[in-house]
Amino acid sequence: MTANTKLVAGNWKMHGRRDMAAALAQAVCAGAPAGVDAALCVPFPYLAQVGDALTNGPVALGAQDLSEQDEGAYTGEVSGGMLAEFGCRYVIVGHSERRARHAESSARVAAKAARAVACGLTPIVCVGETLQEREGGQTLDVISAQLEPVLSLGADLVAQLVIAYEPVWAIGTGRTASVAQAVEVHGAIRHALRGCAPEVADAVRLLYGGSVKPETAPGLFAGEDIDGGLIGGAALDAASFLAICRAAAAAAR
């Protein structure tokens, strides 16, 4: 990885069946272009199978959540150590669906990010405002508050992060943020990074997520401080995901 190699991570969410997972992972692995870092963040039950399909290939394995605990009596939770044992490189933390459905606070998201790094994983920390917050002019305040606990973890940890800006109103809705809207928020995140960890701020990759499609990817990836994408729906189709990866590779050149 270099600072200007873009990262495109697929978030399969709770989609898939065993045969579909194998076929999709194999197709993505076979078609992944050079010049981009690609990853698939898959449901826990498919980690072993998708990990096998990706072995020695150009696409990294990722998960969609982890516990902030090391191990113990935490029924239903999955530890970072377990993810590392299955070959995961990335783990999404603080996705808006988890913040909303599981009441994950930003402090807990930061604890999860720290746990991921302690286990040798790269956390993809998601932040984003709701439509009501955007319309109320609160976007940058909301992002800043969501980031504050994770940026307080110190420069060494911040250097290990990927941050994904995912406006809640754009996730799964078909409504992508405009390039100008994404660039404004990414610029604010970069500014916050420079404030707390100037020596590593420019190397932290900032992904945009929210209804990215092959048609919208080139414009977004050309935007200042947009270092790749977190891709939901379009990651469930190999041709679409690979087209987005090619757009990211082209934008990095």
> In angstroms, what is the minimal distance from the CB of 174 to ligand PEP?
8
11 binds ligand PEP (CB under 6 A): yes
Single-letter amino acid code for the residue at 129: E
> In angstroms, what is the minimal distance from the CB of 235 to ligand PEP?
7
> In angstroms, what is the minimal distance from the CB of 86 to ligand PEP?
21
Q: Euclidean distance between the first and final Cα of the chain, in Å?
A: 14
Instruction: Assess whether 95 carries a catalytic annotation.
Output: yes
Largest pairwise CA distance in the chain: 48
DSSP-derived 3-state class of residue 24: helix
Site for ligand PEP in 40-79 (CB under 6 A): none
Retrieve residue 187's tokens.
């610029």
In this structure, how many other beta carbons lie within 10 angstroms of the beta carbon of residue 6?
23
> In angstroms, what is the minimal distance from the CB of 227 to ligand PEP?
15
Closer CB to ligand PEP, 43 or 81, in the complex = 43
Retrieve residue 120's tokens.
């040798």
Closer CB to ligand PEP, 166 or 225, in the complex = 166
- The 168-207 site mask, x for binding ligand PEP (CB under 6 A), equals ---xx-----------------------------------
Report whether 133 contacts 142 (CB < 8 A). Answer: yes
Distance between CA atoms of residues 9 and 171, nearest Å: 15
**Interface residue with ligand PEP, options 16, 209, 223, 228 (CB under 6 A):** 209
166 binds ligand PEP (CB under 6 A): yes
Pure H helices in 102-178: 106-118, 131-135, 139-151, 155-158
Instruction: Assess whether 15 carries a catalytic annotation.
Output: no
Closer CB to ligand PEP, 104 or 166, in the complex = 166
Task: Tell me which residues are annotated as active site.
Answer: 95, 166
